[in-house]
Structure 1
Amino acid sequence: MRFTLSWLKHFLETDATLETIANSLTMIGLEVESIEDKSQSLANFEVAYITSTEKHPQADKLQICHVQTADKVLQIVCGGHNARAGIKVALAKIGAVIPNSDFKIKESTIRGIASMGMLCSAEELGLNEKSDGIIELDSDAQIGDNIASYIGANDPVIDINITPNRADALGVYGIARDLAAYGIGVLKKLDIPIIKENFDTNYQLTVGDSDACPFFSIREIKSLNNIPSPKWLQDLLKNIGIGSISPVVDVTNYISYSFGQPMHAYDADKIANGLSIEKLSNNDKINALNDKEYELQNGDLVIKDTNSIQCIAGIIGSADSACSLSTKNIILEAAVFCPKSITKTGRDLRIDTDSRYRFERNVDREFTLKALDIATNMIMEICGGEASKTLSTGINKLPIRKIDFPLYFLHSRTNMMLDSCQVTHILKKLGFICEDNTQSINITIPSWRYDVSIKEDIVEEIVRIHGYNNIPQDILPEMEIARIIPVGHKRISDFKRQCAIKGYTEVVTWSFMDSKKAELFTSLKDELILQNPISSDLDYMRPSILPNLLQICCNNLNRSFQNLSFFELGPIFKDTSDNVINNLCGVRVGRIAEKNSHKEDRQFDVFDIKADIAAILESAKLDLNKCQIINNAPDYFHPTRSATISLGKNIIGYFGQVHPLILKKYEIDVDVMAFELNINNIPYSSEKFGKRPEYAISNYQMVTRDYAFIIDIDVPAMDLLNLVKNTDKKLIKSVNLFDIYSGDKIEQGKKSIALSVNIQDQDRTLTDADIAIINQKIIAGMKQKFSAILRDC
């Protein structure tokens, strides 16, 4: 929410400094994000007058300008094509710093000609305007005046962060009310003009869905003399980044930012018969005011005349009925729309407007007609004309909401000791109506405070105005706390530590994501769609952490970081049940190590991810070899370079290479390896904490035997390893896979797998006969289960 200091003081009588106001806003929960004061950056810029020009002898595109300042004539070399005698310009004096480039003006020589300053364009002055040549000022500009004062840039701009519950602070008047309650000045009385209504409008007004549009009002204004908006209004809007279009449009923007009530104006000569507010029953299109065409869907709330759609209700109007300086007659609209309806349409169409932003958070229904009167009065003061009677439909009064607030409740929640007079004084300044009943206060909630509904909300209002720093500090009683870490917490800590040991960096991302990205990973469920997301691209509860990690990879790759390893442990959402699914997800991109002459230089592959999972599961006392690994991972993994890990009927997780088509959606052009583990399905170890048994080392010789088997190409190597290990668990100490081959001399559809088996007894030296028995068991078992043939080496 951006506004200027003078705009605030239009509603607030105060002598407080800008710094005091900014600190006070933050203290009452309206956090100041930035303050922009262009008057400081434009201190060395002034209005000047070009008395004469001549061509530069050494450059065809340069001119030598003789410029009159407040006290002398300067010679300045200028490249602006519109530099000419007789115009007033913006002069950057020696020592000035150009705002948009930080270039410091110095006395210089350009192609042999001395130049004592610079003539500036609007873009160079930081006015957010594309420039074609130097800025030309009006003839009434006074030579020597500071340029910031002339262009209205001497008004500091305050930008505050409004939380979603504070819709009342989306207008400058609401912010002024809070500051007045905090003691920063006095809130000025708001005068609502009485409009002279000269005629009844002939336009009709109908609302087809009163739930989606609880209140709608219009007023026709005829015979406007559209002239440019007054300078004060243009300057206010320009300073917050809104360009002036016409007085009618400028006034609606002013009302929206002053009181939080969005408004819309139609060119009445382009409206047929009247306006109808309804939900579409068929798909349709609209050419909007932002020069974009939108395809509307069945159920979208629109405003129509008898010919076509004239507005996407509460979001943006149609270009077909837009107002301009040539408009003579208008229909002025002030309405209230259902936040859910606005959110759905805005999200589906991906339109973000100031109007949508305010309607999504609710507007003060009881102020709507007052806003219409204020806007009507302003337009007629600027453009003249005559107004019709107001035509409205729906209810603009809300049921009275009351809270009985016992005084002890404030003390029980905050330890503050405030009497009823102090509490009543604060609440009345915020617009609440209070009736003191000895031990409690009966509070009537104002219409603009939708966020206040329970006693705790009243406590919050009192505390933020009285001051969080005034909460008494009490020493808490000493308590003996047993230093026992719950097993679940310890296990999560172990998982995170293991990831860090393996070289992963922990990240924490939103628990929601873009529904269009989510659809790549799961079928969307309506119950997981957020009704009021903080952003249109964070509108779905995440079904997996992987999409968020891929976005982080994309962001880092775009910044030329090539070797990436990230992990996150947090909840994912499959439905709206209370069962939280804790998921551990990790991704690897790039090389296993930075380029180094002493280390292997290769890309991360599926087996690296598998090794990471083995280490993570080992920290939970689960041997990966005891799990089933099957090639049937979800579709967002590569079909032949991924697998599912199961333990009985429970799926532990997935690992592998992310599918190239998924990576394409994220604009990632390198391979990404990933894993997902369902923490809930990893069993707790039955081991008791205590001293580990001693590891027995055999004193007898270990025998190693190598085998090469030819098997079907689709048989997982893990199955072979498990079979060999289980052949004789007492004597076979380890089995390692050291080669996989398919090609020449190997039958098509087959592959050769080479295993190294280490055999050792704990109590004696093995004889040739012992080894021969194990050898025969391995070969027979492989042949029986996999039809494997021992390969001749």
Structure 2
Amino acid sequence: MKFTLSWLKEHLETEATLEQIVDAMTMAGLEVEDVVDPAAALSDFTVAHILSTEKHPDADKLQVCQVATRDGEKTIVCGAPNARTGIYVAYAGLGTYIPGADFSLDKKPRKIRGVESFGMLCSANELGLGEDSDGIIELPEVAVGTPVADVVGQNDPVIDFEVTPNRPDWLGVRGIARDLAATGIGTLKPDTIGPVSPDFDNAQTVLIEAPEACPAFVGRVVRGVKNGPSPEWLQTKLKAIGLRPISALVDITNYMTVDRARPLHVYDLARVNGGSGGSIIVRMGENEQFDALDDRSYVATADDVAICDERGILGLGGIVGGESSGVSDDTTDILIECAVFDPLTIRRSAKRLGVNSDAKYRFERGIDTGFMRDGMEMATRLVLDLCGGEASTVDIAGDIPAAPDSVSFDPARVEQLLGFTPGDTEIEAILAALGFQRQGSGTPWTVSVPTWRRDVTLQADLVEEVARIAGFARLPSTPLPPLPGRREATATLTQSRTRLARRALALQGLSETVSWSFVLDDHARAFGGGEDALHLDNPISRELNVMRPSALIHLLLSGQTAADRGYPGASLFELGPVYRGTEPDDQALTLAGLRRVEPARDWAGADPITALSAKADVLAALSAMGANIANLQLSKPTGDYWHPGRSGRLQMGPKNVLADFGELHPRVLKRLGVEGRVVAFEIWPENLPAPRGKNKGKSKGALTLSDLMPVHRDFAFIVPDSLAAGELIKAAKGADRTLIGDVTLFDVYAGPGIDDGYKSLAIDVMLSPTDDTMTDAQIEAVSNKIIKAAEKLGASLRA
């Protein structure tokens, strides 16, 4: 929701500064997102007067101007074709930043073809006020030194704040002013809406056939109007908040939407029923297609409330009008619609159709039903003042919803819930300023609820109103008493481990992300998810309609988005939940990451990104979490989104899976619209067993180093293709745990000299003596142990 400061002051009598108003909004619960003050960008620009001009002695297209400025008379060289004696212009002194051109003037005079220039005369483009750059901006005759922002109307700050779903009254400037007045920062100006005397009877009938979707429809005919551009004051208001002026009649409806949170619609009566009169019918759709004012076509189903004539649909009620009955410059007779629609019906229809209009945004939250008559009178007065014509009587079809039920309220409950009480007098004054009225004098109070606050239904709701207006700063601050005895760390073992793992992955060069736990159902099915039970009943968007089975989905989409924007080679990871079902045990914590495989531009010859790169990331994270990575078993992952020949699984025992890693299947990448190759991993931190013994994994054991030189021996074994290298390495390490310090794989070969179905694995074994230098006999004995351990796996020493 956006509004300007001047617009607010049309409803709020106040001398408060912009900063004070913003602070008051924040303290009253209005979450201010941004404040744009156009005058700040133009603060260094002032009005100047060109006293004389003469041709530059050394340039045909330049003129030397003598200019009266706020800094005195200055010589300024100017190349604008309209620079001439007598006009008032925008002056920028030395050192001024020029926003439209994105540069700053020198702080010292600059010589231009031999003539010193003491500043600059600016165009509209250079001021950031438009695209006109052919000449300097010409201003009206005002005092020299007047801020340019004041002269061009750029001195009205725009406040943008987030409206919570329960406060539709904040979607109108009047509602914001009411809450600010309650804080004491100003006084709410009286509403001066008076009835418009009718000139004739309203003959346009409205029939409501769907009262659940549209309880009431207030209509009025105005004939003899002259539509055209709206006046400058109205266009300025709409432009300031980002709305495009269209015509006087349309701009009036937009003004009412923002000023009073009262969406309206205007029909061209000559285009209703072919101009032959007849009734307007409010009913549910019947699978009818119509062209809307937003240049799109829609099909209205039985779930959508439609405004129709006898020929078909005129528009979707509360969402978007139809092109067939829209007003134009030729419109002379109009029907003004001021209706109320069921919020849930509007929400469902707009979401299914993908419409996000200002009217829909307000109707789905609920509008002020008590303002329907006054809203019609206010809109009629604006039409008559801006477009002329004469108005009919007001016709009301259906029943305007009654005011909300009163709330029983005990003022003593304020102190019970807040810890302080402002006193009965202040409580009553706060509630009255917000529109709540105390009925009678007994206790508990009976408090009537205004029609614009249907969210207030409980006593606690009124206490909340008192708290935010009285000031949350008045809430007492009472620290909790210290707990007796020794206190353990609040972080769980998994939280501590994942914190270390995240740090390790960051050191590996991966960037952490935080994404939604919802994904598109088609993407979920690509990763083995997407079951009906995991679909959301009320998704926040059509692309986020099912709980995710893998955190890799958003990582892949983010990486592709970055590549599309010119940032290839994304390396990302995320810690978060994934969902395999609807039961509590079906939610698991995952630490997922990926690296996009991009050609490296590195003169030193950077290592290529492969499945082993993902394995290195996994081992770094598992090691940081305290896993004994030397004893992990290697197998194949079961998920079909992994490349069958370039992926692996790390596990402890046959069932406890710690991580999957490798290259993702091209079929899955194509389904998500991801180009190129990607290596990734998924770690399951909760599957890592808790540490045993007194150490509990909080610190590593003492480092033991031998003073003797290690001995290296190489072995090459012929093994079946099905044997993983990790199994051979593990067997070699277990041959003699006392002397064997490390085993590494340094070669894999398959080809001539090796039978089909077999491969050669070459390992380097490091022997680390502790007591004495090893003899040849000792080395031979250990070698025999390694060979025998390998033979148990079906390996044979290569000749």
Superposed pair shares fold, TM > 0.5: yes
1:236 aligns with 2:240: no
Aligned counterparts of 2:649 and 2:396: Cα–Cα separation in 1: 62
**Cα distance in structure 2, aligned partners of 1:206 and 1:749:** 80
Say whether the 8 Å CA contact 2:30–2:162 is kept in structure 1. yes
Are the counterparts in 1 of residues 48 and 91 from structure 2 also a CA contact under 8 Å? no
Alignment of 1:560-709 (within 5 A): 565-574=571-580, 577-578=583-584, 580-588=587-595, 601-618=606-623, 619=625, 621=627, 625-627=631-633, 629-635=635-641, 637-644=642-649, 648=654, 652-659=658-665, 671-685=677-691, 687=693, 689=695, 704=713, 706-709=715-718
SS at 2:220 equivalent: strand
Instruction: Select the residue among 482, 494, 499 that pairs with 2:497.
Output: 494
Pair 1:77–1:117, CA change in 2 (3 A): same
- 2:27 is aligned with what amino acid? M
- CA distance in structure 1 between the aligned counterparts of 2:254 and 2:141, rounded to whole angstroms: 30
Distance (Å, rounded) in 2 between the aligned partners of 1:356 and 1:393: 21
Cα deviation, residue 381, structure 1: 1.7
**How far apart in 2 are the matches of 1:89 and 1:604?**
66
Q: Contact (CA 8 Å) 1:32, 1:160: kept in 2 or not?
A: yes
**Aligned residue in 1 for 2:250:** 249
Residue of structure 2 in register with 1:469 after alignment: 473
Q: Is the 8 A contact 2:65 2:76 kept in 1?
A: yes
Q: Is residue 421 from structure 1 mapped to residue 425 from structure 2 by the alignment?
A: yes
- Matched-pair contact (CA < 8 Å) for 2:728–2:790: no
Match of 1:93 in 2: 91
Q: 1:265 to 1:506 in 2, by over 3 A?
A: same
Q: What is the match of residue 738 of structure 1?
A: 746
Deviation at 1:4, TM superposition (A): 1.6
Given that residues 205 and 391 in structure 1 are in contact (C-alpha distance below 8 angstroms), is that contact kept between their aligned partners in structure 2? Answer: no
Q: Aligned partners of 1:90 and 1:351: how far apart in 2?
A: 47
Q: Does 1:126 align with 2:128?
A: yes
Partner of residue 531, structure 1: 538
308-317 or 43-52: which moved more? 43-52
CA separation of 1:308 and 1:743: change in aligned 2, threshold 3 A: farther
Shift of 1:777: 5.7
Q: Which residue is equivalent to 2:153?
A: 152
Determine if the alignment matches structure 1 residue 175 to structure 2 residue 182.
Answer: no
Q: Does the Cα contact within 8 Å between 1:315 and 1:342 map onto a contact in 2?
A: yes
2:432 aligned with 1:431, yes or no?
A: no
Query: Aligned partners of 1:675 and 1:416: how far apart in 2?
Result: 54
Q: Does the CA contact (< 8 Å) of 2:735 and 2:785 recur in 1? A: no
Q: How does 1:256-275 map to 2 (within 5 A)?
A: 256-272=257-273, 275=280
2:378 aligned residue: 374
Q: Tell me the residue number matched to 2:19.
A: 19
For the Cα contact (< 8 Å) 2:88–2:141, is it kept in 1?
no
Q: Partner of 1:549 in structure 2?
A: 555
Shift of 1:500: 0.9
Q: Does 1:35 align with 2:39?
A: no
**Residue matched to 1:711:** 720
Looking at structure 1, the residues matched to 648 and 288 of structure 2 have their Cα atoms a distance apart, in angstroms, of 43
Distance in 2, matches of 1:13 and 1:105, equals 41
Separation in 1, partners of 2:243, 2:162 = 18
Give the Cα–Cα distance (whole angstroms) in 2 for the partners of residues 227 and 453 of structure 1.
45
Give the aligned partner of residue 782 of structure 1: 793
Aligned residue identity for 1:612: D
What's the offset of the Cα at 1:508? 5.5
CA distance in 1 between counterparts of 2:389 and 2:363 reads 30
Q: Does the alignment pair 1:484 with 2:491?
A: no
> What amino acid sits opposite 2:425 in the alignment?
C
1:303-382 aligned at under 5 Å gives the runs 303-307=307-311, 309-382=313-386
For normalisation by structure 2, the TM-score amounts to 0.79
Q: What is the rounded CA distance, in whole Å, between the counterparts of 2:283 and 2:657 in structure 1?
A: 49
* Alpha-carbon distance between aligned partners in 1 of 2:661 and 2:571, rounded to the nearest angstrom: 14
Hey, what's the Cα distance between the residues in 2 that align with 1:626 and 1:363? 62
Cα separation, partners in 2 of 1:721 and 1:474, compared to 1, 3 Å: closer
Q: Which position in structure 2 is the counterpart of 1:397?
A: 401
Q: CA deviation at 1:430?
A: 1.0
Q: Please state whether the residue corresponding to 1:250 is helix, strand or coil.
A: helix
- Over residues 250-271 of structure 1, what are the superposed CA-to-partner deviations in whole Å (9 max), with x where a residue is unaligned? 1111111112222232333333
**Number of residue pairs aligned between Structure 1 and Structure 2:** 770
Indicate conservation of the 8 Å contact 1:89/1:120, yes or no: no
Query: Structure 1 residues 548, 343: closer, same or farther in 2, change over 3 A?
Result: farther
User: Quick one: structure 1 residues 284 and 419, their matched pair in 2 at CA, closer, same or farther if it must change by over 3 Å?
Assistant: same
- How far residue 496 of structure 1 moved from its aligned partner, in angstroms, is 1.9
Q: Taking structure 1 as the reference length, what is the TM-score of the superposition? A: 0.80
Q: Is the 8 A contact 2:48 2:90 kept in 1?
A: no
Q: Which one-letter code corresponds to 2:446 in the other structure?
A: N
TM-fit CA distance, 1:374: 1.6
1:452 to 453, 456, 460: 456
Q: Residue type of the partner of 1:492?
A: Q
Structure 2 counterpart of 1:754? 762
Which amino acid in the other structure matches residue 469 of structure 1? A
Asked if structure 1 preserves the Cα contact closer than 8 Å seen for 2:517 and 2:578, the reply is no
Structural mapping, 1:144-223, within 5 Å:
148-149=149-150, 151-197=152-198, 198-202=200-204, 204-208=206-210, 210-223=211-224
CA distance, structure 2, for counterparts of residue 449 and residue 652 of structure 1: 53
Q: CA deviation at 1:607?
A: 2.0
Equivalent AA in structure 1 for residue 387 of structure 2: C
Alignment partners' CA distance in 2, 1:531 and 1:665? 25
Farther off after superposition, 230-239 or 171-180? 230-239
Q: Cα offset for 1:32?
A: 3.1
Partners of 1:98 and 1:692 lie apart in 2 by 60
Distance in 1, Cα, partners of 2:242 & 2:639: 50
- Write the deviation string for residues 323-362 of structure 1: whole angstroms up to 9, x where unpaired: 3333223333333344444444544555443333323433
Q: Deviations over 1:601-622 (max 9, x none)?
A: 3144322322333444453546
Change (3 A) 1:23 1:217: same
Offset, 1:177? 0.6
Q: Aligned partner of 1:778: which letter? A: A
Stretches of structure 1 that go unaligned for 5 or more consecutive residues are: none
In 2, Cα distance between the equivalents of 1:761 and 1:271?
A: 99
Q: Report the Cα offset of residue 3 of structure 1.
A: 1.2
Secondary structure of 1:269's aligned partner: helix
- Provide the secondary structure at the position in 2 that maps to 1:154: coil
Which stretches in structure 2 are left out of the alignment for 5+ residues? none
Deviation at 1:510, TM superposition (A): 4.4
Q: Is the 8 A contact 2:167 2:455 kept in 1?
A: yes
Percent identity (aligned): 30
Mark the CA change 1:615 to 1:45 in structure 2 (over 3 Å): closer, same or farther: closer
Aligned partner letter, 2:201: F
| Cα distance change on mapping 1:105 and 1:725 into 2, 3 Å | closer
Report the more deviating stretch, 215-224 or 649-658: 649-658
Query: Is the CA contact 2:75–2:116 (under 8 Å) kept in the aligned structure 1?
Result: no
Instruction: Return closer, same or farther for 1:605/1:77 CA change in 2, 3 Å cut-off.
Output: same
Quote the offset at 1:167 in angstroms: 2.1
